[in-house]
Amino acid sequence: MTARPVPPTEASMLLGDLTWPDFESRAHSGYTIVPVGALEPHGPHLPLASDTMISEHFAARLAHGLGGVVTPSIAYGIATEPYRLGGTFPGVISVSGTTFTNLVGDVLSSLADHGVRRIIVVNSAIDNTAFLCEAARTFTERVTDARVMIVAWWDVVGEDFRNALAAETGVARRDDHHAAMVESSLVMHIAPDSVRHEKAATSPGAGPPPRRMSYRVYPLPPDVATETGIVYTAEEAGAHLGARVADQVARQLEAAVRLEFNDPRGQ
């Protein structure tokens, strides 16, 4: 999946739009930002590429704020556990942990071969995290003057902010995870035409609500599965809320990058 269209002022930030002399002139300075997502169900109301859309959005905003180049997305990720998805549904197009780790490592190594040394991986699929860390650890052991930051929107949105949203909307934090209020709101803000708004309040299906687990069981117990993929509530989601979350994350993300790269002004 290629990066989604961005405003004209950001067009030159996409690596795929640069010529090789353009990239060569920028590789040794500034940041290179790698959006990472997944292709998987997010209930009946959000598109399969929701994670990738979110990563691309924040990668573009980060590049605009700090100055940097955004690579094409790594849009195939690690399969999310079925208990998070509410069962097994069509649309989980994933790769193995070995393939994913090797792909990320190869991308990092290729960037480094051209002089890139400051890399930010913007991830929006939680099951990718451990494999991203393994790829970055192995890469930085080999390229010792490189620095890689792996960050997801939920890492920087802030506990106080999330708690305030919960109090304001009446949606408890325990009910706001995969494809729920905050994630749905982000996609409604970022790509409103891709959302089936009328299905955001769809129930899990007939019978009692699905049981939620904090551990894994194979095969998935029947009382954990749903008919629709609705595990958590998205009833209070909206583009206006997504805009607030996006602005909060963008500010906090830029601040975190400046801190970790000792960069008070950006490049």
135 closest CA partner among 155, 175, 174, 108? 108
Helix, strand, coil percentages in the chain from 3-state DSSP, rounded to 5: 50, 10, 40
Residue 229 pLDDT greater than 70, yes or no? yes
Q: Mean of the pLDDT values across residues 79-101?
A: 94
pLDDT digits (tens, 9 = 90+) for 240-258: 999 999 999 999 999 999 9
pLDDT attached to residue 36? 98
Residue 3 pLDDT greater than 50, yes or no? no
pLDDT attached to residue 57? 98
pLDDT attached to residue 110? 98
Write the DSSP symbol of residue 46: B
Residue 42's SS3 state is strand
pLDDT attached to residue 32? 97
Are 74 and 34 in contact, with CB atoms under 8 Å apart? Answer: yes
Place 5 in a pLDDT band, splitting at 50, 70 and 90: very low
% residues pLDDT > 70 (the chain):
94
Token pair, residue 78, equals 């690690």
pLDDT attached to residue 72? 97
- Regarding the domain with residue range 8-260, which homologous superfamily does it belong to in the CATH classification? Creatininase (3.40.50.10310)
Q: Mean of the pLDDT values across residues 90-100?
A: 97
Residue 147's SS3 state is strand
Spatial separation of the C-alpha atoms in residues 180 and 256, rounded to whole Å: 25
Residues 6+ apart with CB under 8 A from 45: 179, 184, 195, 196, 197, 198, 199, 200, 202, 234
What's the chain's length in residues? 267
- Alpha carbon distances (Å) from 101 to 54, 117, 125, 132: 21, 19, 14, 6
Residue 267 pLDDT greater than 70, yes or no? no
The one-letter code for the residue type at 229 is G
Q: Mean of the pLDDT values across residues 133-160?
A: 97
pLDDT attached to residue 4? 46
Place 89 in a pLDDT band, splitting at 50, 70 and 90: very high
pLDDT attached to residue 11? 46
Residues 6+ apart with CB under 8 A from 100: 76, 77, 78, 128, 131
Spatial separation of the C-alpha atoms in residues 63 and 59, rounded to whole Å: 6
pLDDT digits (tens, 9 = 90+) for 184-210: 999 999 999 999 998 887 777 767 888
Q: Mean of the pLDDT values across residues 73-88?
A: 94
Helical H runs in 114-171? Answer: 129-142, 153-156, 159-169
